[in-house]
């Protein structure tokens, strides 16, 4: 699937996740370089996090490549029921979205947020949520442009959600079969 002529989007299998672990960790650390208070700090923590994300929804783990290099990745779960599993209705949850610093500002984050919403719509869910660091203004503005609204705060994290229209949101610009 192509996002832009230079960018390729793909899902990672469990075996590919293991093979690409170093690259995924490098992108994570690059993306969080200026936001260390929101990030895991050790390679082992990030590797455990990657495994947890992938187990949560294997179909929702996407990477963006330039050639063979991974430059961004995202995890979206389409059957999230909250941290304690106590939400009465499953919804989508954008668990993580990271873009390596040299590739920030090229529209990859925008495309990946749209894909997360589309992924959720295809699963028939009516809402999608996420947590974003309270001082991560660029990410917050991006999510707000997609209709996410702050609903609560937990420590340094803002809880944002938006409704999902299963018909309209499957057709978000730049996505679908034209990736």
* pLDDT bracket for residue 30 (50, 70, 90): very high
Q: How far apart are CA 179 and CA 176, in angstroms?
A: 6
pLDDT, greater one: 37 or 167 = 37
Can you give the residue ranges of every domain in the chain?
Answer: 2-178
Q: What is the pLDDT of residues 71-88, one digit of tens each?
A: 999 999 998 887 777 777
Q: What is the pLDDT of residues 97-126, one digit of tens each?
A: 999 999 999 999 999 999 999 999 999 999
Q: How far apart are CA 41 and CA 128, in angstroms?
A: 27
Tell me the residue ranges of DSSP E strands in 40-68: 61-66
| Fold classification of 2-178 (topology level) | Aminopeptidase (3.40.630)
């Amino acid at each position: 699937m192509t996002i832009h002529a230079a960018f390729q989007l793909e899902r990672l299998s469990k075996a590919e996740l293991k093979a690409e672990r170093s690259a995924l960790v490098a992108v994570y650390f690059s993306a969080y370089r200026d936001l260390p208070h929101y990030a895991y700090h050790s390679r082992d923590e990030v590797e455990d996090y990657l495994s947890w994300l992938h187990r949560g929804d294997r179909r929702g783990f996407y990477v963006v490549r330039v050639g063979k290099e991974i430059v961004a990745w995202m995890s979206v779960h389409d059957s999230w029921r909250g941290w304690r599993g106590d939400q009465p209705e499953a919804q989508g949850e954008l668990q993580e979205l990271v873009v390596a610093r040299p590739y920030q500002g090229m529209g990859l984050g925008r495309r990946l947020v749209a894909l997360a919403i589309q992924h959720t719509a295809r699963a028939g869910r009516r809402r999608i949520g996420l947590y974003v660091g309270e001082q991560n203004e660029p990410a917050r503005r991006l999510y707000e442009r997609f209709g996410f609204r702050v609903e609560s705060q937990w420590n340094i994290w803002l809880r944002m959600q938006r409704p999902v229209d299963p018909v309209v949101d499957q057709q978000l610009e730049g996505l679908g079969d034209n990736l």
